Amino acid sequence: MASNPVVSDLIAKLAETAGTPLRRAKTMAPELYHNRDLYEREIEQIFKRDWLCAGTANEIPNAGDYITFSIADQPIYIMRGSDEQIRAFSNVCLHRMMKLLDARRGSCRRIICPYHGWTYDNKGQLIGAGHMVQSDSFNKSEYKIPEVRLEIWEGWIYVTLDSSAASVASQLAELHPVVAAYGMADYQPVAERDHVWQTNWKFLCENFMEGYHLPVAHKATVGAWFPAEETRFPGQTFDAFTYQTFIKDETATYGRAHPDNSRLKNEWRYTSIMPTIFPTHMYVLAPDHLWYLSLRPKNVSEVHVRFGASLAPEVLNALGDRREAFIKDLVDFFDKVNDEDRFLVEGLQQGSAGPLAAAGPLSWLERELHDFSRYLCRRLTAN
């Protein structure tokens, strides 16, 4: 990538932030959230190379079920095939480059292009193309939609455009023993949402990573159950992820193990794990539920937000006639949480654009922001 002196200066500022010990560290410089040239470098160095999370495998349980997603400018769809395998494909017709599937999720036996009706099976093979008999050497068996690299890890669907990226399993190997006992691959989805928020993607990542704001900004929702002094961080840092753990007290409506949960013991029955898988997959894994965000920048000041929530199987099994009402209350609750966060991150975008905006000191509760700055520095200086 060609050298840009402004971008080089911004990355130097980032490196200074990342290289400062946490006790003396500050937030990133405000320009790092607003510079368009730096944003383009992020797309090339991060979003076209790293793994992104499109959702959970349990969101597409049956053959023909699909979800749509995108990696940078590349539209993709992810479908469960008739052989039960989940695959990702370019969401672009091989005829005139029309987008094939538009809905966030759906189900179909065949994919039919809405432009000229070219038809593909659930493995991407072209099986129908009308009015092509007079085209010399046309053979539909030679046309197959390009497949996109995909891995499933603990029930999460990850995709990347980089054929040389290290596997998800290898990058998250040290996270696996932390989350394994929860059995999150068996959690069942109860809500999915897509939004566009008016903020830089990094503000939303950082907001998720720290619990410092919870007792203040979320005092009417999750903050009421969050004892900040009980937050715990791992004793080391990792290249591909960061996480913290926190407990939910006995007053919490959500976040404690159901009596039928035999997987978790002792304090883990009321402990939540909050990983961030760099660059933009974030989730809260609790004994009874999980919820997640997956981000894709739309531009320097807008971000696509994919939200989902799932319940542990024993919670769902015990609900009976209360299932619909319980799920509605849960989804309404997290919609409120997301509204609170949207207010915050859009306010950060506006405030940081002011000429008097400046980096401030980090709290110990914001350790993961420091981890994030070091990740960004590694990626943006990579060859």
Residue 139 pLDDT > 70: yes
Give the pLDDT score at 2.
56
Boundaries of every domain in the chain: 5-50+167-380, 52-160
- 345-370 pLDDT per residue, tens: 999 999 999 999 999 999 999 999 99
Residue 182 CB-density burial (10 A; 0-12 exposed, 13-18 middle, 19+ buried): buried
**Omega of the bond leading into 279 within 30 degrees of 0 (cis):** yes
Class for domain 52-160, per CATH?
mainly beta
pTM of the predicted model as reported, rounded to 2 decimal places: 0.96
Query: How confident is the model over 249-271, as a mean pLDDT?
Result: 92
Give 277's contacts (C-beta < 8 A, 6+ positions apart).
51, 53, 172, 240, 241
- Residue 31: both structure tokens together: 């320009």
Q: From the CB of residue 251, how many other CB atoms can be counted at a distance below 10 Å?
A: 8
pLDDT at position 298: 97
> Beta strands of the chain (E only): which ranges?
52-56, 65-71, 74-80, 86-90, 105-107, 111-112, 119-120, 126-128, 147-153, 156-160, 188-197, 241-247, 271-277, 281-285, 289-299, 302-311
Residue 227 has pLDDT above 90, yes or no: no
Task: Look up tokens 């609170």; give the residue.
Answer: 340
Span 63-106, pLDDT tens digits: 999 999 999 999 999 999 999 999 999 999 999 999 999 999 99
| Max CA separation in the chain (angstroms) | 73
Label residue 138 by pLDDT band (50, 70, 90). very high
Q: At what angle do helices 323-352 and 201-209 cross, to 10 degrees?
A: 120
- Residue 116 to residue 126: CA distance in whole angstroms: 13
Pick the closest to residue 144 from 163, 124, 162, 121 (CA basis): 124
3-state secondary structure (DSSP) of residue 20? coil
Write the single-letter amino acid at 20. T
Which backbone phi and psi does 146 adopt, to 5 degrees?
-60, 135
- Tens of pLDDT, residue by residue over 156-195, are 999 999 999 999 999 999 999 999 999 999 999 999 999 9
Over residues 208-233, the mean pLDDT reads 88
CA dist., res. 245 & res. 365, Å (int): 11
5-50+167-380 carries CATH number 3.40.50.1820 = no
Confirm if 246 and 272 have CB atoms less than 8 A apart. yes
